[in-house]
């Protein structure tokens, strides 16, 4: 019996006189991987903004582990375990790889960052950071300056930063965007190995077919369908939403 970790119910958002997200309802079960797809402008990032709290919903609710978090600020949601990456990189380019992760671990542990202390003195945060880097395959790059990493490795670092906060749910917004074709399989492998509850916006069909338990299709701000990848691929209304574009 699987339990619901994240639930959105009737979630809506109006902005600039338009309804951007319209009455979206679905549940995500513990350990489930849900891919979110849809044509450009369908409202995928806006949906993530509502779930993570970057935008306040105009209507509906977001529930995490049974708690209504709809009115909570993003930081509070993050502390509850909603971890999110953004389309643009949130890495501190001038810090080392491990410093980026250690800071996230320390902030999550609530330790005040005493800047006069040596950075490495928080042994617990450092241990968490090392383990997170191990998980994403960046352990041997720990002492490098984050800004010098390749695009693909920066994405892995962003995921390590999230892991350092031990999130209940991970929201990944187009993690493959801007990657060369050669970097996609390695990042796919890292994401697959996370073994967490994950919601991911993704355009690469082969990636989400590989990873997703279910695929949610957004269209004009509404949830058009949510089902297994096989059923979604065979759904004529989904094909119509893409105006004949191959899925
Ligand atoms: N703050 C805002 N005010 C007004 N309109 C907005 C705002 N943010 C987004 N939109 C509009 O809402 C629609 C959905 O945008 P959103 O970025 O959520 O779509 P998306 O599915 O993530 O698209 P893409 O795949 O291109 O990233 C777009 O038409 C966008 O222009």
Kindly list the domain boundaries of the chain, sorted by start residue: 1-81+168-247, 90-166
Answer for the pair 4, 28: CB distance below 8 angstroms, yes or no.
yes
Name every residue whose Cβ is closer than 8 Å to that of residue 241 and which is 6 or more positions away in sequence: 38, 39, 217, 219, 224
Express each pLDDT in 130-155 by its tens digit: 999 999 999 999 999 999 999 899 99
Q: Mind listing the pLDDT tens digit for each residue in 151-170?
A: 899 999 999 999 998 999 99
Residue with tokens 């617990």: 124
Q: Which two tokens stand for residue 233?
A: 């691929």
**Terminal alpha carbon distance of the chain:** 32
Q: Superfamily assignment of 1-81+168-247 in CATH?
A: P-loop containing nucleotide triphosphate hydrolases (3.40.50.300)
Strands across the sheet containing 33-37: 82-84, 169-173, 197-201, 33-37, 214-219, 222-227
Bridge partners of 36, per DSSP, are 201, 216
Cβ neighbour number for residue 66 with a 10 Å cutoff: 9
Strand, coil or helix: 27: strand
Residues 6+ away with beta carbon under 8 Å from 242: 39
Report the residue among 12, 21, 22, 45 best suited for mutation to probe ligand 1: largest number of ligand atoms under 8 A from its CB.
45
* Cα–Cα distance for residue pair 162/83, rounded to 1 Å: 6
Query: Residue 58: which pLDDT band, with cuts at 50, 70 and 90?
Result: very high
Rounded to an integer, the average pLDDT of 92-103 is 93
Distance 31 CA to ligand 1 centre (A): 28
* Residue-wise pLDDT tens digits, 175-206: 998 888 888 999 999 999 998 999 999 888 88
What atom in ligand 1 is closest to the CA of residue 49?
A: 18
pLDDT value, residue 96: 96
CA distance 237 to 232: 9
- Which residue ranges have their beta carbon within 6 Å of ligand 1? 15-16, 20, 38, 40-46
pTM of the prediction? 0.89
Structure tokens at 95: 């810090």
Cite the beta strand spans of 78-206 per DSSP E: 82-84, 169-173, 197-201
């Amino acid at each position: 019996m699987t339990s619901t970790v994240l639930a959105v119910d009737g979630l809506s958002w109006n902005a600039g006189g338009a309804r951007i997200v319209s009455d979206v309802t679905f549940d995500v079960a513990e350990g489930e991987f849900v891919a979110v797809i849809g044509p450009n402008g369908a409202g995928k990032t806006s949906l993530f903004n509502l779930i993570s709290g970057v935008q306040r919903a105009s209507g509906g609710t977001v529930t995490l582990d049974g708690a209504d978090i709809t009115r909570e600020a993003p930081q509070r949601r993050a502390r509850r375990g909603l971890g999110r990456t953004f389309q643009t990189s949130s890495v501190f380019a001038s810090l080392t790889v491990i410093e980026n992760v250690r800071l996230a671990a320390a902030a999550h542990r609530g330790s005040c960052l005493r800047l006069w202390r040596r950075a490495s003195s928080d042994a617990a945060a450092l241990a968490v950071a090392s383990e997170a880097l191990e998980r994403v395959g960046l352990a041997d790059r720990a002492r490098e300056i984050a800004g010098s990493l390749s695009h693909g490795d920066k994405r892995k670092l962003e995921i390590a930063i999230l892991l350092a906060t031990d999130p209940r749910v991970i929201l990944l917004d187009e993690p493959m965007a801007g990657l060369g074709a050669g970097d996609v399989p390695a990042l796919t492998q890292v994401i697959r190995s996370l073994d967490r509850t994950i919601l991911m916006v993704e355009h690469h069909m082969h990636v989400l077919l590989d990873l997703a338990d279910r695929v949610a299709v957004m269209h004009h701000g509404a949830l058009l369908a949510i089902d297994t990848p096989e059923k979604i691929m065979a759904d004529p209304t989904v094909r119509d939403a893409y105006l004949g574009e191959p899925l």
